[in-house]
Amino acid sequence: MSSVDLRTAYDALPLTDQNYNGQGETVVFIEGGGFLQSDFATFAADEKLPPYNLSLVGKNTGYDDETTMDIETCTRSRR
């Protein structure tokens, strides 16, 4: 899925068309599953993105690929 596809799916094209890219904003995810930090390092390198700056509040219990996909989607959609 391309970044344009993601922006279309989340109805964010009107924002990016006005040059709003979310830079400097904070995004909060409330997730029930955990994640692997190494997944984000790999994704950022593969997509030529800057490293992730994640702050975890609570416990990172187990692994849930839905959590990883949510965070990656948010990052990729800003391109």
pLDDT 10s digits, 31-79: 777 788 888 888 888 878 788 777 777 777 777 778 887 877 777 655 5
Task: Specify the residue for token string 């997730």.
Answer: 31
Reported pTM: 0.57
Q: Taking the mean position of all CA atoms in its chain, how far away is CA 69?
A: 7
